[in-house]
Amino acid sequence: DGRYFSDPHQALPKNGYTAIFEKMLSDPKITVLTSTDFFEVRDKLQCNRLYYTGPIDTYFADLGWPKLEYRSLSFERVVQKDTPGYFQPASVVNHPQAQNMDGEEVDFTRIVEYKHLLNQTSDHTIYFIERSTDEGDPYYPVPNQENQDLFQKYKEMAEQEEGVSFVGRLANYKYFNMDDAILNALELFDKDTAAMFDNNAEESSVVESE
């Protein structure tokens, strides 16, 4: 089984994730700001509830506490010409022992060849070599006891923050696959809107009884 995960049901959005977010953000009431530092504009925001998806330790940076540790990745894109088949036997080949399939020492941890995933046919192939690094965008929490204890302190502060919901990988200091990330957002929406729906139901009941 050369699929990316071992889940019994696997799928990708028909038109990709970009189309999903474009549709979600297409409402005229929504303003999208790119290349903008949230902390530089936070005082200008006017909203009943803020959904924060950034690193939780960055949100509370003014406390002066230590930063949580993350691992990042670097990606090397390789275009291999004249390869009607595949470069490697599966879409994802991990190299946890720092050795390639020939037993040679390497500095990368994984190679992903996307041509496998969608059964593409081409005379060429493209794959990405992934290397683990301490620098770059935060991808993976470092789940040692020291970081877990520190996160619990940040979490306690987050629970006291009125009008703010912390959602997603960075704010929860937890790795989510895409299905888990979407579930996390939906469950949070249900939690945050439960009282609103309950109030609407009560008002409807009053109107009907009158």
pLDDT for position 5: 67
Using the predicted structure, report yes or no on whether residue 210 has a pLDDT greater than 70.
no
Q: Rounded CA gap, 115 and 98, in Å?
A: 24
Q: Rounded CA gap, 143 and 69, in Å?
A: 9
Q: What is the mean pLDDT of residues 53-82?
A: 96
Q: Rounded CA gap, 178 and 21, in Å?
A: 13
Query: Does the global pTM surpass 0.85?
Result: no
pLDDT for position 8: 82
Tens of pLDDT along 114-147?
Answer: 898 877 889 999 999 999 998 999 988 998 999 9
Q: Rounded CA gap, 67 and 57, in Å?
A: 6
pLDDT for position 209: 46
pLDDT for position 58: 96
Select the more confidently predicted residue: 49 or 152: 152
Q: Which of 32-41, 114-123, 138-147, 200-209 has the lowest mean pLDDT?
A: 200-209
